[in-house]
Amino acid sequence: MTIRIGNAPVSWAIYEFKDIEPKYTFTRVLDEIVETGYSGTELGPWGFLPTDPTKLRIELEKRHLQMVSAYVPVKLVDESVHPQAEAEAIKVGKLLAALGAKYIVLADDNGSVPALIKEAGRAQGSRLSPEKWDVVAKGVNRIARRVNDETGLKFAFHHHCAGYVETPQEVRHLMDRTDFDLVGLCLDTGHYHYGGGDALEAIKTYGARIRHLHFKDCDMHIRQQCISQQLDYFGAVGAGVFCELDKGNVNFPAIIAEMEKLGFDGWATVEQDILVDDLDAPKQSAARNRAYLRSLGL
């Protein structure tokens, strides 16, 4: 079993949300990923890193960094925009494939529906009808098949708070409706806890269908405070619900052990949501997270 450890621009507050402007150049982010001990990076929002494969390959190779994957949020509840979502995923997928990545990570268009932003962490059960779930699953299957046909990339779906695939029940609805071989799960340990589940139980439930990992911690005490104060998703992130690794309630030693039993051979990307003004904080946090994972043998 091999779990390779990467990081991502999101750990430097490089988000896909249009109202959060990047505070760093892409060169500084890549440099600090390497300096803090990571061997891979995700792409980040389209356009943050160079989108010309030759230029980006040069930047990666001179730092001995592997392109791991990319998080691609698309709207899935509206079937009329599935062709647009497919085109977006193929565009990103072609860049990833040119750089030697093996996986693409698709997600719902999280953080775009005010009601879902407001109730993140407080959602219960499923908020879509069976008919809407069929629409979402149809879109995921379609995009996964086309991306694989066009690029050869394998495919994993990322559940995420402030979206329609947040709770364990919603993850189950999607997994039950999508092609087992074609559509894997990107398990985000922190988001699964924030959405009301337990990441260790998710591994026991989905087993080898988990084909990509995002390592994120979740402080369940802060989560409960955020629920009591009715903070929305962005308020909870700002309050520190996604704390550094080993500071919250995700059982990383047990998760690693379970992935070992499965013979997992792939990447875990550390994602540390940081919304602070201290420009040195992301690098310092990335270093602490890497040191913790090294203490676990990764």
The three-state secondary structure class of 177 is: helix
Q: What is the pLDDT of residue 1?
A: 59
Q: What is the pLDDT of residue 276?
A: 74
Q: What is the pLDDT of residue 247?
A: 97
With tokens 């899935």, the residue in question is 76
Q: Report the predicted TM-score, pTM, of the whole model to 2 decimal places.
A: 0.96
Q: What is the pLDDT of residue 30?
A: 98
Average pLDDT, the chain: 96
Higher-pLDDT residue of 57 and 23 is 57
Q: What is the pLDDT of residue 18?
A: 63
The three-state secondary structure class of 228 is: helix
Mean pLDDT across 39-68 = 98
Q: What is the pLDDT of residue 251?
A: 98
Q: 5, 9, 34: which is closest to 214 by C-alpha? A: 5
Q: Domain with 74 in it: what CATH number? A: 3.20.20.150
Q: What is the pLDDT of residue 2?
A: 85
Q: What is the pLDDT of residue 16?
A: 76
pLDDT in tens, 190-240: 999 999 999 999 999 999 999 999 999 999 999 999 999 999 999 999 999
**Residue 197 CB: number of other CB atoms within 10 A?**
20
Whether residue 273 has pLDDT greater than 70: yes
Domain count of the chain?
1
Mean pLDDT across 12-20 = 78
4 sits in the region (left: phi over 0; alpha: psi -120 to 50; else beta) called beta
Mean pLDDT across 57-64 = 98
Print the domain residue range for 233.
2-295
Q: How far apart are the first and last CA of the chain?
A: 11
- Cα dihedral 184→188→193→194 (10° resolution): -110
156/63 Cα distance (integer angstroms):
27
Q: What is the pLDDT of residue 242?
A: 97
Higher-pLDDT residue of 187 and 22 is 187
272/33 Cα distance (integer angstroms):
12
Q: What is the pLDDT of residue 25?
A: 96
Confidence class for position 157, pLDDT limits 50, 70, 90: very high
